[in-house]
């Protein structure tokens, strides 16, 4: 690698929101692209605007359990369209002056890649792009990620990016950068074969307190509230052996103990996927902890899988129940039926899991939702000895519920992704009661 090798700067932007917390959340797509570009021969640098371990601030933040933790935050003005929300709005992440300093000290890049996550977090994305264009006006900015894919037209019109990349863009990024820079390195991966992808470049971070793991992409279900089928048109998986190798690598080289599975369908075909993964980890004899912040499908959670989870060291288990009522549920999803939740809980408790480890997600804020049913669902989950976890619904373009959400909302959802924010319960019509929200949240405790 020489000084003439193109230099690419990758940036994970701030979160602008009413609340944010690091629940094992990392920009997996961006860091995977970082690994691909390094393998392709580019020079890479990385700025994480959410960095909890920045040397200037690492001692000011109280660490959370299992590698999680609070972000730095700075209160800012609420978006003008959300003036009526009775909550403070903040920029989560390191101060703007620190980001500007890092940009000023970075070698001048040939291009900047910015990722995006939640659709309603785009103000933080736009703020970062604005600073780059101010400080490096001649450098092209490429924008990708979830917001860029789900709200492509909005991003093209308003982001200020040189180019917006929609969908899974690993191949497209390399092609665009090769065109912009005239560089032609050696391809090190096959876009359709997940086993050929490099590990995400977590080593670019100041610290690796945990590693999020994707053992596959996509989901065979098409739930009405979920965009997984749009973001990942195919259901693809890595080989169990390759997943075991990655877990071993991060544990042995960087002493990582906490791993969070972020698959949309981790338990599908369990005997040929998650079972050999966990058995492989156990054979290696490595002491790690596993977490499932992304909901597990309940139906395939057998007695054998529950026992294997316990032996492998799972510390956080979240089940995708969504509602405890099943009449007419097929309009919501078809992933769980009557009695399957209770059976799965029985398997988990029989394997040795305590109630503190187990949680069940219940959707809150759906279009036309009967809150009496939600209240009853909370009580049913608690009666099973499981913690109810309210998953506040965010209306997502390109999902089956989108049109219903647009009709139900007191906001003009189609006009601005800022209204997708689940913190404002956008699909609850007036009169909307924050007292009822508070009551239901307290009921889960």
Quote the pLDDT of residue 307: 98
DSSP string, 9-70: EEEE--EEES---BSS---HHHHHHHHHHHHHT-EEEEEETT-TT-TTTGGGS-B-GGG-BP
Contact 54, 98 (CB under 8 A): yes
DSSP string, 187-234: ----TT-GGGSPPP-GGGSS--S-EEE-SEE--S---TT--HHHH-SS
Q: What is the mean pLDDT of residues 20-40?
A: 96
348-366 tens-digit pLDDT: 999 999 999 999 999 999 9
Contact 213, 246 (CB under 8 A): yes
Query: In which band, very low, low, confident or very high, does the pLDDT at 3 lie, cut at 50, 70 and 90?
Result: low
| CATH 3.20.20.70 domain residues, the chain | 210-443
Does 1 score more than 70 pLDDT? no
Quote the pLDDT of residue 189: 84
- Summary mean pLDDT of the chain: 94
The rounded percent of the chain whose pLDDT value lies above 90 is 88
d(C-alpha 26, C-alpha 279), whole Å: 26
Q: For the chain, what's the residue count? A: 445
Backbone torsions φ then ψ of 316, nearest 5 degrees: -140, 115
80-138 tens-digit pLDDT: 999 889 999 999 999 999 999 999 999 999 999 999 999 999 999 999 999 999 999 99
Does 2 score more than 70 pLDDT? no
Q: What is the mean pLDDT of residues 376-400?
A: 96
d(C-alpha 69, C-alpha 62), whole Å: 7
Q: What is the mean pLDDT of residues 413-438?
A: 88
Closest CA relative to residue 311, chosen from 274, 345, 278:
278
Query: In which band, very low, low, confident or very high, does the pLDDT at 264 lie, cut at 50, 70 and 90?
Result: very high
Q: What is the mean pLDDT of residues 402-418?
A: 96
Closest CA relative to residue 290, chosen from 268, 261, 311:
261
The residues facing 405 across adjacent strands are none
Q: Between the CA atoms of 31, 225, 71 and 91, what dihedral angle is there, to the nearest 10 degrees?
A: 100
d(C-alpha 370, C-alpha 268), whole Å: 31
Quote the pLDDT of residue 435: 84
DSSP state of 106: S
Closest CA relative to residue 202, chosen from 378, 80, 428, 26:
26
Q: What is the mean pLDDT of residues 317-331?
A: 94
Does 214 score more than 90 pLDDT? yes
Q: Where is 343: in which H helix or E strand?
A: helix 340-351
The rounded percent of the chain whose pLDDT value lies above 70 is 99
180-212 tens-digit pLDDT: 999 987 777 888 899 999 999 999 999 999 999
Q: What share of the chain is helix, strand, coil (3-state, %, to 5)?
A: 40, 15, 40
- Those residues whose C-beta lies under 8 Å from the C-beta of residue 252, and which sit 6 or more positions away, are 286
Report, in angstroms and rounded to the nearest whole number, the Rg of the chain calculated over CA atoms.
Answer: 22
Pick the CATH number of 7-181 from 3.40.50.300, 3.40.50.280, 3.50.50.60, 3.40.190.120: 3.40.50.280
Quote the pLDDT of residue 188: 75
Pick the CATH number of 210-443 from 3.30.2350.10, 1.10.10.10, 1.10.3260.10, 3.20.20.70: 3.20.20.70
Contact 418, 79 (CB under 8 A): yes
Q: What angle do CA 413, 417, 423 make, to 5 degrees?
A: 85
d(C-alpha 378, C-alpha 354), whole Å: 18
Closest CA relative to residue 366, chosen from 343, 397, 332, 330:
332
The residues facing 392 across adjacent strands are 364
Quote the pLDDT of residue 56: 93
Q: What number of other Cβ atoms are within 10 A of residue 364's Cβ?
A: 25
The structure's pTM equals 0.95
The residues facing 211 across adjacent strands are 259
Contact 1, 101 (CB under 8 A): no
Q: What is the mean pLDDT of residues 403-425?
A: 95
Q: What number of other Cβ atoms are within 10 A of residue 315's Cβ?
A: 16
Closest CA relative to residue 296, chosen from 201, 376, 361:
361
| CATH 3.40.50.280 domain residues, the chain | 7-181
Does 431 score more than 70 pLDDT? no
């Amino acid at each position: 690698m020489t000084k003439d090798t193109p230099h690419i700067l990758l940036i994970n932007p701030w979160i602008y929101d009413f609340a944010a917390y690091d629940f094992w959340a990392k920009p997996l797509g961006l860091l995977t692209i970082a690994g691909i570009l390094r393998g392709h021969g580019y020079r890479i640098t990385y700025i994480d605007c959410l960095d909890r371990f920045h040397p200037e601030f690492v001692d000011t933040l109280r660490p959370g359990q299992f590698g999680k933790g609070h972000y730095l935050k700075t209160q800012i003005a609420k978006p003008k369209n959300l003036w009526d929300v009775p909550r403070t709005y903040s920029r989560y992440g390191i101060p703007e002056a620190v980001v500007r300093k890092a940009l000023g000290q970075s070698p001048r890049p040939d291009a900047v890649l910015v990722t995006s996550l939640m659709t309603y977090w785009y103000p933080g994305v736009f703020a970062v792009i604005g600073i780059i264009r101010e400080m490096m006006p001649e450098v092209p900015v490429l924008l990708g990620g979830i917001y860029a894919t789900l709200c492509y037209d909005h991003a093209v019109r308003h982001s200020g990016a040189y180019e917006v990349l929609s969908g899974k863009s690993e191949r497209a990024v390399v092609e665009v950068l090769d065109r912009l820079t005239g560089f032609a390195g050696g391809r090190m991966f096959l876009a359709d074969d997940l086993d050929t992808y490099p590990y995400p470049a977590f080593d670019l971070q100041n610290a690796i307190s945990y590693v999020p793991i994707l053992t596959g992409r996509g989901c065979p279900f098409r739930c009405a509230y979920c965009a997984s089928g749009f973001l990942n048109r195919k259901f693809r998986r890595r080989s169990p052996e390759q997943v075991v190798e990655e877990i071993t690598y991060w544990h042995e080289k960087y002493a990582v103990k906490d791993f969070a599975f972020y698959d949309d369908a981790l338990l599908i075909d369990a005997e040929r996927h998650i079972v050999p993964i966990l058995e492989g980890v156990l054979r290696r004899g490595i002491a790690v902890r596993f977490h499932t912040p992304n909901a597990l499908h309940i139906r395939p959670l057998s007695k054998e899988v529950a026992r294997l989870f316990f032996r492998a060291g799972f510390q956080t288990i979240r089940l995708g129940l969504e509602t405890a009522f099943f009449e007419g549920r097929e309009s919501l999803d078809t992933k769980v039926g009557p009695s399957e939740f209770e059976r799965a809980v029985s398997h988990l408790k029989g394997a040795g899991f305590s109630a503190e480890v187990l949680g069940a997600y219940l959707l809150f804020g759906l279009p036309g939702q009967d809150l009496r049913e939600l209240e009853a669902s909370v009580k049913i989950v608690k009666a099973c000895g499981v913690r109810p976890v309210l998953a506040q619904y965010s209306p997502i373009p390109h999902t089956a519920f989108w049109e219903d959400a647009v009709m139900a909302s007191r906001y003009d959802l189609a006009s601005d992704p800022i209204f997708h924010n689940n913190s404002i319960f956008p699909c609850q019509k007036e009169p909307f009661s924050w007292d009822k929200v508070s009551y239901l949240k307290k009921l889960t405790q």
